[in-house]
Amino acid sequence: MIRFDYLEPATLSEAFSLLEQHGDNARVIAGGTSLIIWMRQRLLMPQVVIGLGRIPEFDTITFDRQQGLRIGAGARHRDIELSPAVKQHYPLLHETFRKVAQPRIRNMGTIGGNLAGGDPLTDPGASLIALDAELTLASSNARRTVSVEDFFVDYYQTALEPGELLTEIRVPPPQRPGWSHIKFTPRSVEDFATVGVAMTLRGKAGSCEDVRLALNSVASTIVRAKRAEDVLRGQRLSDDLLREAGEIAATEVDPMDDNRGSADYKRDLVKVLVRRAAEQAIQRLS
């Protein structure tokens, strides 16, 4: 293991000061489930590691019918999975966090570390896009809001600027009651997804009024499949239409060949899983 200094600020403003002071030499650590692996692999070699674990209320989860859900960036996967408000009002999130890795990782890893890592294989981002979630990014002198969709820039690259921290995830009150989350993991349930699909859908009497669809593990970022949404939005839902949405979604992704399958195989999976996700979302409407 490389040598580094470990600092543990007691407040958010202290964390910002340390980030300013140490600049590129510093890296924040939350649960450490990703960062420690990257450091062991020498992909990152920070001289200073800044622990976020002592910052008060950094892991708070609150729900309000008007404002929706607010999740502190330091909330652990398991906290979100087990939150009564999440279970009751955001079953898509409950289902998603239930499927992240295995309990040991879920007890350590945080939502902030998951999103800030910018890894397109991870699960929560797609579901948060399907739920219209926004992120608060803050530095010592500024605060801004970015949609989750715009947060992911490229492989392991996000909209975070130097000196900024992801502090909060806001999920508006659910807009579309139909939902589906499919994580296709043929090797092991604890594996990253070969393809992941998250969808929310609103409609009645066999028609789709509105829909949001996002996918992970199929491009350099987690992606929203807007053209596939357009196929469904405002239409009567038929088998042919769902099949068409799957076909179109497959043109919006750019998967890589890897040890989970070839790019062609993943594109074929997208066709099937998007159709299946739409079927599940429609079923849940009733």
Is residue 73 at the binding interface for ligand FAD, with CB under 6 A as the rule?
Answer: yes
Asked whether position 100 contacts ligand FAD by CB under 6 A, the answer is yes
Please say whether the beta carbons of 281 and 217 come within 8 A: no
> What part of residues 131-170 is at the interface with ligand FAD (CB under 6 A)?
160, 165-166
**Judged by CB under 6 A, does residue 198 bind ligand FAD?**
no
Considering only 26-34, 204-212, 239-247, 266-274, which stretch makes contact with ligand FAD by CB under 6 A? 26-34
User: In angstroms, rounded to a whole number, what is the distance separating the alpha carbons of residues 3 and 47?
Assistant: 7
| Closest listed residue to residue 152, CA positions, set 117, 192, 193, 100 | 117
Least distance to ligand FAD, CB of residue 242, Å: 27
Q: Which of 163, 154, 87, 74 lies closest to 120 in space, CA to CA?
A: 154
Least Cβ distance, residue 161 to ligand FAD (angstroms): 11
- Smallest gap from residue 120 Cβ to ligand FAD (A): 10
C-alpha 223/C-alpha 120 separation (Å) is 9
Q: Which one of residues 9, 16, 27, 149 is an interface residue with ligand FAD (CB under 6 A)?
A: 27
User: What distance in Å separates the CA atoms of residue 22 and residue 230, rounded to the nearest whole number?
Assistant: 46
List 116, 218, 231, 253, residue binding ligand FAD (CB under 6 A): 116
Residues near 76 by beta carbon (within 8 Å), at least 6 away in sequence: 31, 59, 106, 107, 108, 109, 110, 111
Binding positions for ligand FAD, rule: CB under 6 A: 27-35, 37, 52, 73, 100-101, 105, 108-110, 112-114, 116-117, 122-124, 160, 165-166, 192
